[in-house]
Structure 1
Amino acid sequence: MRALCLFVALALALPANAQNRQKVETQFRAWLEQTVWPRARSEGVSRDTFEKAFKGVHLNWKLPDLVPPGTKPQTPKRQSQAEFGSPAKYFSQGSVNGATSVGRQMARRHAGTLARAEEQTGVPGRIILGIWGRESGYGRVAIPHDAFQVLGTKGFMSTRAPYFTDQLIAALRIAEAGHKPARGMKSSWAGALGQPQFMPTSFLDYAADGDGDGRADIWGSEADTIASIARYLDEHGWVSGRDWGFEVNVPQSVSCTLEGPDQGRNIADWETMGISRVSGRPFPEHERRGKGYLLMPAGRNGPAFIVTPNFYVLKDYNMSDLYALFVGHVGDRIEFGVGGFSATWGNVGGLYRSDVAVMQRALERMGHDVGGADGLPGFKTRRSIGRWQEANGRAATCFPEAGMKTALR
Structure 2
Amino acid sequence: MRRVPLLLAAALSLLAAPASAGPYDAGFRAFLDGTIAPAAREAGVPAAVIARELAGMTPDTSLPGLGKPGGKGAPPPVNYQAEFRAPGGYFRDSQFNGLVAKGRTLARRHASTLQRIEQRYGVPGRIVLAIWARESGYGAARIPKDALRTLATRAYMGQRRDFFAKETVAALQILADGHIRRQDMKSSWGGALGQPQFLPSSFLRHAVDFDGDGKRDIWNSAPDTLASIAAYLNWYGWVKGRDWGYEAVVPASVSCTREGPDRGQPISAWTAEGVRRVKERPFPAHEVPQPGFLLMPAGRFGPAFIATDNFYVLKSYNESDVYALFVGHLADRYGNNTGFVQDWRPIKTRSRGAVRKIQLQLEARGHDVGGADGLIGFKTRRSLGAAQEKAGKPATCWLE
Q: TM-score, structure 2 length as denominator? A: 0.90
Does the 8 Å contact 1:129/1:331 carry over to 2?
A: yes
Give the drift of 1:149.
Answer: 2.1
Q: 80, 86, 102: which is aligned to 1:77?
A: 80
The answer as to whether partners of 1:167 and 1:199 remain within 8 angstroms in 2 is yes
Q: Which residue of 2 aligns with 1:175?
A: 175
Written as runs of structure 1 = structure 2, the 5 A alignment for 1:125-136 is 125-136=125-136
Residue 128 of structure 1 contacts residue 229 of structure 1 at CA under 8 Å; is this kept in 2? yes
Whether contact under 8 Å (1:296, 1:304) holds in the other structure is yes
Moved more, 53-62 or 309-318: 53-62
**Cα RMSD over matched residues?**
1.7
Q: Which residue of 1 aligns with 2:355?
A: 356
- Deviation string for 1:350-385 (max 9, x for gaps)? 422111111111111101111111112110010000
Work out whether residues 237 and 313 of structure 1, in 8 Å CA contact, stay in contact via their aligned partners in 2.
yes
User: Could you tell me how far apart the structure 1 residues matched to 2:248 and 2:287 are?
Assistant: 14
Distance (Å, rounded) in 1 between the aligned partners of 2:52 and 2:343: 51
Answering whether residue 396 of structure 2 is matched by residue 397 of structure 1, we say: yes
Please tell me whether the aligned partners of residues 233 and 314 of structure 1 are also in contact (alpha carbons under 8 angstroms): yes
Q: Which amino acid aligns with 2:78?
A: T
Distance 1:238 1:130, change over 3 A: same
Give the SS at the match of 1:44.
Answer: coil
**Alpha-carbon distance between aligned partners in 2 of 1:185 and 1:267, rounded to the nearest angstrom:** 45
Q: Which residue of 2 aligns with 1:59?
A: 59
Equivalent runs, 1:215-230 vs 2, <5 Å: 215-230=215-230
CA displacement at 1:172 relative to structure 2: 0.7
Q: Distance in 1 between matches of 2:235 and 2:353?
A: 36
Partners of 1:136 and 1:181 lie apart in 2 by 20
Residue identity in the other structure for 1:93: D
Other structure's SS at 2:293 match: strand
Q: Deviations over 1:286-331 (max 9, x none)?
A: 1110000000011111111000000000000111111111111111
Stretches (4+) displaced over 4 A: none
Tell me the secondary structure at the aligned position of residue 151 of structure 1. helix
Q: 1:145, 1:351 → 2: CA distance?
A: 32
Shift of 1:399: 1.7
Which 5+ residue runs of structure 1 have no aligned equivalent? 1-20, 402-409
Q: Which of the two has higher C-alpha Rg?
A: 2
* Paired position in structure 1 for 2:50: 50
> Which residue number in structure 2 is paired with residue 185 of structure 1?
185
- In the other structure, the counterpart of 1:166 is 166
Contact kept in structure 2, 1:248 and 1:304, CA below 8 Å: yes
Equivalent residues in 2 for 1:221-370, closer than 5 Å: 221-334=221-334, 336-348=335-347, 350-370=349-369
Give distance in 2, aligned partners of 1:63 and 1:323. Answer: 23
Q: Match of 2:24, SS?
A: helix
Separation in structure 2 between the aligned mates of residue 400 and residue 66 of structure 1, nearest angstrom:
31
The letter of the residue matching 2:254 is V
Cα separation, 2, equivalents of 1:78 and 1:103: 36
Change in 2 beyond 3 A, CA 1:365/1:39: same
Partner of 1:5: none
- Answer yes or no: is the 8 Å Cα contact 1:389–1:396 preserved in 2: yes
Cross-structure match for 1:96: 96
* Cα separation, 1, equivalents of 2:305 and 2:236: 22
**Matches of 1:98 and 1:360, distance apart in 2:** 37
Q: 3-state SS of the aligned residue for 2:247?
A: strand
Q: Distance in 2 between matches of 1:98 and 1:338?
A: 11
CA contact (8 A) 2:63 2:189 kept: yes
Residues paired across the two proteins, number:
377
Determine the C-alpha separation between the residues in 1 that align with 2:56 and 2:91.
Answer: 39
- Looking at structure 2, the residues matched to 210 and 198 of structure 1 have their Cα atoms a distance apart, in angstroms, of 16
Map Cα deviations across residues 135-171 of structure 1 (whole Å, 9 max, x no partner).
Answer: 1111111101111221111111222111111111100
Task: Supply the AA of the counterpart residue of 2:91.
Answer: F
SS at match of 1:271: helix
The residue type equivalent to 2:120 in the other structure is Q
The corresponding residue for 1:15 is none
Q: Which amino acid aligns with 1:337?
A: N
Deviations 1:4-36 (A, max 9, x none): xxxxxxxxxxxxxxxxx9443321111011110
**In 2 relative to 1, CA 201–79 (structure 1 residues): closer, same or farther, beyond 3 Å?**
farther
Range 307-316 or range 273-282, more displaced = 273-282
Residue 349 of structure 1, CA deviation: 5.8
3-state SS of 1:279 partner:
helix
Aligned residue identity for 1:246: Y
Gaps of 5+ in 2: 1-20
Q: Structure 2 matches for 1:103-114, cutoff 5 A?
A: 103-114=103-114
Contact 1:85 1:348 in 2 (8 A): no
- Per mean C-alpha deviation after superposition, the further-off stretch among 290-299 and 206-215 is 206-215
Look up the match of 2:380: 381
Q: Calculate the TM-score normalised by the size of structure 1.
A: 0.88
> Secondary structure in 2 aligned to 1:202?
helix
Of stretches 351-360 and 126-135 in structure 1, the one that deviates more from structure 2 is 351-360
Partner of 1:38: 38
Q: Distance in 1 between matches of 2:291 and 2:371?
A: 26
AA at the equivalent of 2:377: G
Deviation at 1:54, TM superposition (A): 3.6
Alpha-carbon offset, residue 71 of structure 1: 5.8
Cα distance in 2, alignment partners of residues 285 and 212 from structure 1: 39
Residue pair 1:78, 1:353 contacting (<8 A) in 2 also = yes
* 2:149 corresponds to 1:149: yes
- Paired amino acid for 1:271: T
Matches of 2:75 and 2:141, distance apart in 1: 35
Cα distance in 1 for partners of 2:81, 2:348 equals 12
Q: Secondary structure at the match of 1:243?
A: coil
Determine the structure 1 residue equivalent to 2:13: none
Instruction: Give the distance between the partners of 2:309 and 2:45, measured in 1 at CA.
Output: 39
